[in-house]
Amino acid sequence: MLTVGDLMTRDVVTLDETDDLVRVDDLLKLHHIRHLPVVRDGRLVGMVSHRDLLRALSRQLAAPGHEPISVTRLMSRDVEMVRPDLPVREAIYKLLDHRFGCLPVVDRERRLVGIITEADFMRMAARLLTAAEARRGDASEASAH
């Protein structure tokens, strides 16, 4: 059985609660990602997405002169998390049913150990399609002989 731990990204780019919007924007651009887990002492406390950043920037532009918006004010705190031993099929249904773009992966103590994204599932689908096409090609060649 394929699990989340088999597909997840283990080297996760994270934010600290004290980071600001500039740091969020810099990390999203630098790493070409759309989701940033927020951690405190290695434990997941929230998530910030590219969409959250856009919403916060529009608010900040609408109210010039206010203090910069911190990650603490921006992040989603009620985050759906999964464990590394969750079957991939269940993770796929969580993404589809809730329209999530990613799922942070945590251990029993809520320590962030990885993240699994829509892109991870697309890469898996591409590998499966390539393998299926290769098998179909082998079967066609075998029947031609």
Provide the CATH number for the domain formed by 4-117 in this structure.
Answer: 3.10.580.10
Q: Which residues contact 88 (CB under 8 A, 6 or more apart)?
A: 2, 3, 4, 6, 7, 121, 124
pTM for this predicted structure: 0.81
Mean pLDDT of 101-130: 95
pLDDT at 74: 86
Whether 104 shows a pLDDT value over 80: the answer reads yes
Give the range among 6-20, 51-65, 68-82, 96-110 with minimum mean pLDDT: 51-65
- Residue 35 binned pLDDT confidence (cut-offs 50, 70, 90): very high
Domain boundaries, the chain: 4-117
The DSSP result for 62-113, as a single string, is: HSTTSPPPBHHHHSBSS---B-TTSBHHHHHHHHHHHT-SEEEEE-TT-BEE
- Reduce the DSSP state of residue 33 to 3 states and report it: coil
**Cβ count near 64 (within 10 Å):** 6
